[in-house]
Amino acid sequence: MKVLLAEDDAVTREAVTTLLEGEGYQVQAAEHGAMAWDCWQQGGSDLVLLDIMMPRLNGYEVCRRIRAADPRVPVIFLSAKSEEIDVVLGLELGADEFVRKPFGARELLARVQAVVRRARPESPAEIAFGPWRIFPKCLRAEGPAEVELTLREVKLLQLLHRHRGEVVSRDELLNRCWGLEYYPESRTLDQHVLNLRKKLEADPSDPQWIRTVRGAGYRMPE
């Protein structure tokens, strides 16, 4: 698997490269955002690791460009910027993970492995609810409008649809869609649900299809 790593700090770049290559990944390292974008355009990357604060082009902009070109490739932010707004912005741009610096080798490998393992939805079968039809292979929803979805959003919809009428706990959603390695105290799940509501609900403040069950989880009605 080929990994594109964009990191302007030479020590961190070399350490992450050595770590990943030791696990069998092929790493293409870029020392600033413009170089990362050039490397991406050459093609062949299966996973992207992005620092945020980089010269010439920041990680947010690189992620935005990559997502516009390919909504499928997994993207992980590696950043010392750890305020909630930084995490939320990264997720809204389509990142699959946000790893805060400093991080340990085992944590980074666990996050990478979880993202790679879940880089494709479990089933390519189409699902339907309300006015919407979801096409997992195309990462697209059709209904009142045509909407682009991320891999993670598709997985959440598939799991909720599979258990429609039932409450799916937060822990189950995190474990099934992110993996056991993920830290359940993260706001990541809430942010992904919010993004889905903005895309699929007529009134995101009064959701009909992805309902919150306070203290328990989420439910999709039958």
pLDDT of residue 123: 52
Interval 27-52 mean pLDDT: 93
Task: Give dist(CA 105, CA 16) in Å, integer.
Answer: 8
Query: Could you tell me if 144 and 81 lie in one domain?
Result: no
**Which string of DSSP letters, residue by residue, matches 19-80?**
HHHHTT-EEEEESSHHHHHHHHHH---SEEEE-SS-SSS-HHHHHHHHHHH-SSS-EEEEES
Interval 96-107 mean pLDDT: 89
pLDDT of residue 62: 94
Which of 117, 136, 171 is the last residue in one of the domains? 117
Which of 117, 143, 176 is the last residue in one of the domains? 117
In a domain, 122, yes or no: no
Q: Which region, left, alpha or beta, applies to residue 57 given φ > 0 means left and ψ of -120 to 50 means alpha?
A: beta
Q: What percent of the chain has pLDDT over 70?
A: 93
Question: What is the span of the domain harbouring residue 199?
Answer: 127-219
Q: What percent of the chain has pLDDT over 90?
A: 55
Query: Could you tell me if 105 and 70 lie in one domain?
Result: yes
Asked if residue 76 has pLDDT above 90, the reply is yes
- Indicate which CATH number applies to the domain containing 44: 3.40.50.2300
pLDDT of residue 43: 83
- Residue 199 near residue 212, CB atoms below 8 Å: no
Q: How confident is the model at residue 93 (pLDDT cuts 50, 70, 90)?
A: confident
CB atoms under 10 Å from CB of 127, counted, come to 19
In a domain, 93, yes or no: yes
